[in-house]
Structure formats: C-alpha cells, structure tokens
Structure 1
Amino acid sequence: MKKSRGYVAIVVAFVLTLSLGGVALAAGVFPSSESGGPESGAVVDLPAAYRSEEAAQSDSTAVPPDENPSTSSPQSSTTYALSSTFSYYQVTGAAMTPRDSSTQYTYQSNGCVSVTAGNTLVLNTDLHIPTGSMIKYLRLIYIDTSSTGEIPAYLTSFIPGQQVEDLISTSSTTLFAGGYGYAVSTEKSIIVDNQTYAYSLLVKPSISGTSLQICGVRVAYYAPISPTIYLPAIQR
C-alpha cells in the first residue's frame, strides 16, 4: 500500500512539473511589445475574437465585433457619458515608423509596408483619441504569405520614463499564408486618460521580409458625448 501511494505521488508530481513547465513555456512565447525580437521559432499567435480567414473558411456570416451593430444602446463609464456607436482611429502601415534605428522597412502598395531588417522589427505610431473614450477593440490589417511567421499588434500605454503596459494585443496566425486578412482582438473596456498616459500602436512581425506586410491598425472606441449647450433665448 505504501509503495502504491509513493508511486501515485511521484506520478502526480511529474504531471504537475510538466504542467507548470508547459505554462512557463507557453508564457515565454508571447513577447511583449517592449522586449527584443521574439524567440527564434516561437509561435506568437495572440488572441483574436475574429479573423477574416477563419470566417471565410467556415462560410460564417457573423459580423466582426468591432463593427457597429444595427441597433445600439448608450454606453457608460465611471466619469463620462459615451456614444452608443463606435468611432474609429485608423492608420496605415506606411504611417508607422521604426522604434529602433536599426530597423529598415520597404513600402509595398496600398499603405502596406514590410520590415526587412533590424534588431527588434518594431514599427509604432501615436494614438490620439479623446480623454474619457472607452477603447473596445484593436484590429490588425495585413497581407501574410508566410507559413512560418506572424504579425502581432499592440495597443500600449506609457507613463513616459516610468512605466509601459500592453493593453490590447492580437495577431495574424503562423499557419495562415493566404494573403490579405485582418484580426480583431478580444473585447476590452479601457478608459482613455491622456493626462496620465501616452498611448501607442505597435506592430512586431516575427520575421523580416516581404512575406509579411503591415497594412494598417484600427481602434474601435466609444467617444464621450459632449454636453449640449443651450443659449438663452433673446426676445424683442
């Protein structure tokens, strides 16, 4: 009986070790936007609520979650009254610039660029939307003809000189190599605070070369509603 218990304990310990090791390895292949280039051969498929290629393969008629529905109800936050429909902030890949001086990129067409060399392969640009807005989704638009690489995208906040945090991320998939596509992040509810934070959009292809093209990034958000100002009536 003691031998059986000892055997079970060893098996359980071994399984836990594998499980924890698996978690550690899995966590290690999701690089942040601030770190250097992804580990060689790492899979970086970040979460997405909707990918165009998956919808096409399943003949799905579902609407991407970052599109305005046919009917909407007003949103709310702790401080601001918010619009009931999405506003959008969108930039092309060509509008993004290298974060590192070693990074080189080439313009392709239709606003798309490819990162061709560099230490970190990161392109970024500022995000400017009103304080009090509620950010819901991040969409990455790309052309991917590589079966070994992917393009992660991030919405990142900074307290300049003190703190950095990736708020939203999504990516193309490693195995997809069918050309044009887009990926929409999972839903978030991030209230913009421009007094405290600076916000950036970043893309970080896992490999260099023209097989991965960054075409654009789009943020869907609920804008704060400006209060109506009523002027006094003037009677003569």
Structure 2
Amino acid sequence: MVRTKRMLPVAAILVLALALTGMVASARPPMQGEGSEDSELVTSALPYGSRVTDVLGDDADEDGYTGAVSAAAAVLEPSEAAASQPAEAGAEATALQPDDNDYRGPVDRSAQAEIAPSELQPATAPDWEQSFAEPQPDQDSYANPRGMDDRSPDAWSSFRYINVAGATLRPRDSSSGWDYSGTGCVSRSSGSELINIHLPIPDGSRIDYLRIYYYDTSGSNNSRAWVTNYNSSGGYTDVTTVTSSGSGGYGTQLSDYSGHIVDTSARSYVLNWSAAQNGSSMRLCGLRVAYRVPV
C-alpha cells in the first residue's frame, strides 16, 4: 500500500509531460513531404529587400504605371570614341544617286553587267526540281489555282532599304579570321574565305541596287560584295555585285541596275563580301540593298 502511494506522484508527472508534448506537436503544421529547406526557416525568413513584382503597375516598365517617367539625357554617352568617326561626306557624295528616291538622272538598264562569280559552281548537284513536277502541300499553288493574285509587274513601290553593318558579317569558314575595326567596320585578319550574312529580303520584291560602304588604304586591291542566292541543292546565282574603288579611305560605290525578282520559296539570299586581302587597310563598313515591292 505504501509502495502504491509512492508511485502515484511519478505517474502524475509522466502524464503531465505527455500532455505538454502533445500540445507542442499540435502547434506545428505537418510537413508536406520532404523538402530541401527547413520549413520553419523558410516561412520565418524576412525577404531581402523589396521585389519589383510585388505590385504590378508601380514601375515605369509595367502596364498600368501612372507615375512620372524620367526622360533620357539629351546627349547620350557615345558607344565609341568620337575620334574614330570618319569625316563627313562632301557635297558630291550627298547628291542624289540612282538608288535614291527623287533621282531624275539617266539610268542604263539595257546592258547586263558581267558578274564575277563569288565561288566556283559545283560540277554536279542533285536535281530537287524533279520532285516538284506537281504542286506540293507546302506550296500555295497546292490549294489555289495557278496565277491567282497576279499583280502587274510595272506596279512597284518607292525604294525600300536593308542596311547591314559590316561588323555583323562573319567568315563562312573557321579557317578565316576577322577583326572589328571600329565604326561598324570589319576586316579579314587571316585566311581567304568570304565573309557573309543572311539577307532578309521580302518574297516577291525586286532588288534594284547594292551599295557598298568601305574603308580602303591598301593602294592596290579592291574588295567586292555580292547579293547571292542559294537553292539548297548545291547551286547558286549571283544576283548583283559591286566593288570598292580607290585607296583614299572611306568611300561608297553603287552596283549596276539588277531588277531581280526575289523568290524565297526556292532560294535563300545572302550578302557576301571578299576582302581581296587581309589586314585593317581593307574594311567593309556596310552594305545597303535598295529594293521595291509590288503595290
């Protein structure tokens, strides 16, 4: 009897301890599977600074913003040193040329200029055209009658232009190197490969002229540029070409009239440039394609 009385306080203490443990456990939410972080640390951590996405519309680059907008400075920090800028062109260079709108001078469209090839033609190539004797599902003529939506070949828009900086062109083979010469110009540093870039010309447009902008102090060589199209079967056509001229530094030259009608359904168009030599004394600064679209 005495022993039973002594055990009662011990049992009471154990019951009280178990009750307190259950209360603490019930105060914590159960873990939803195994996590990579301690849930208490994640839920109790304070965010490090404010986030721009907390409230949509409170920043100038978000829809719904109605606050003040700070304007850019009137004079922007130049992307290149002013000393590297070429001298302004003279009055002779600013006169209207055949590839400018409002030009009223003579244009010789009778002669077909002989175009020096940009590469050797392949001896043999697969004839993909034999697979398209009839319209295919990925061609417009498959669903529409031939000749639909024909437009007069004499109805063309005013000139439109695609300008490409020389610095965007790259050698088409890793055996040749290139250097950036400043003010958007590129030069070939090694090898002998052409430097080129894709020409995003609209289908059905008419390419009239190619203009080259260059820097040349070589004294003997002239560089050459082409608009070339490839038929994806090993064949190509040089649409038009233009060469640099002289060795007095910066200059521009215009190709002969072309009048080529663009067909992107069968051909891919590329701007090619041959430096004719390596080194910074011969640089391509830009190419401009003057074209028209049907109206």
Query: TM-score, with normalisation over the residues of structure 2?
Result: 0.51
Q: Give the alignment of 1:8-157 within 5 angstroms.
A: 63-69=96-102, 81-83=155-157, 85-120=158-193, 122-157=194-229
- Alpha-carbon distance in structure 2 between the residues aligned to 1:142 and 1:212: 8
- Alpha-carbon distance in structure 2 between the residues aligned to 1:162 and 1:78: 32
Give the RMSD, CA atoms, in angstroms.
Answer: 2.5
State the aligned residue count: 162
The structure carrying a bigger strand percent of its residues is 1
Shift of 1:69: 1.2
Unaligned segments of structure 1, at least 5 residues? 1-54, 226-236
Contact 1:134/1:221 (8 A) holds in 2: yes
Shift of 1:188: 1.1
Ranked by relative contact order (alpha carbons within 8 Å, sequence separation 6 or more), the top structure is 1
Shift of 1:82: 2.2
Q: Hey, what does 1:48 align to over in structure 2?
A: none
- Alpha-carbon distance in structure 1 between the residues aligned to 2:164 and 2:261: 21
- Alpha-carbon distance in structure 2 between the residues aligned to 1:145 and 1:103: 21
Contact 1:100/1:119 (8 A) holds in 2: no
Unaligned segments of structure 2, at least 5 residues? 1-88, 105-149
Following superposition, which runs of at least 4 residues in structure 1 exceed 6 angstroms of deviation?
A: none
Cα deviation, 1:182-204, whole Å, max 9, x if unaligned, reads 11000111001110111100100
- Alpha-carbon distance in structure 2 between the residues aligned to 1:102 and 1:220: 32
Cα deviation, 1:157-208, whole Å, max 9, x if unaligned, reads 11012311111001012xx111110110001110011101111001001111
Of 267, 277, 286, 1:216 maps to 286
SS of 2:182's partner is coil
- Alpha-carbon distance in structure 2 between the residues aligned to 1:63 and 1:163: 37
Q: CA 1:206/1:222 → structure 2, altered by over 3 Å: closer, same or farther?
A: same
- Alpha-carbon distance in structure 2 between the residues aligned to 1:147 and 1:155: 26
- Alpha-carbon distance in structure 2 between the residues aligned to 1:197 and 1:79: 20
Mapped pair 1:161 → 2:233: yes
- Alpha-carbon distance in structure 1 between the residues aligned to 2:94 and 2:188: 33
Cα deviation, 1:77-115, whole Å, max 9, x if unaligned, reads 7568421x1000110011111111111111011110110
Q: Which of the two has higher C-alpha Rg?
A: 2
Question: Aligned residues: percent identity?
Answer: 38
SS of 1:94's partner is helix
SS of 2:220's partner is coil
Q: CA 1:135/1:96 → structure 2, altered by over 3 Å: closer, same or farther?
A: same
Contact 1:79/1:132 (8 A) holds in 2: no
Shift of 1:149: 1.4
SS of 2:275's partner is coil
- Alpha-carbon distance in structure 2 between the residues aligned to 1:123 and 1:153: 9
- Alpha-carbon distance in structure 1 between the residues aligned to 2:153 and 2:267: 17
Give 2:234's aligned amino acid: Q
Q: Hey, what does 1:207 align to over in structure 2?
A: 277
Give 2:289's aligned amino acid: V
Contact 1:80/1:132 (8 A) holds in 2: no
SS of 1:108's partner is strand
Q: CA 1:61/1:103 → structure 2, altered by over 3 Å: closer, same or farther?
A: closer
Q: CA 1:60/1:155 → structure 2, altered by over 3 Å: closer, same or farther?
A: closer
Query: TM-score, with normalisation over the residues of structure 1?
Result: 0.63
Cα deviation, 1:7-54, whole Å, max 9, x if unaligned, reads xxxxxxxxxxxxxxxxxxxxxxxxxxxxxxxxxxxxxxxxxxxxxxxx
Q: CA 1:60/1:143 → structure 2, altered by over 3 Å: closer, same or farther?
A: closer
- Alpha-carbon distance in structure 2 between the residues aligned to 1:181 and 1:108: 15
SS of 1:82's partner is coil
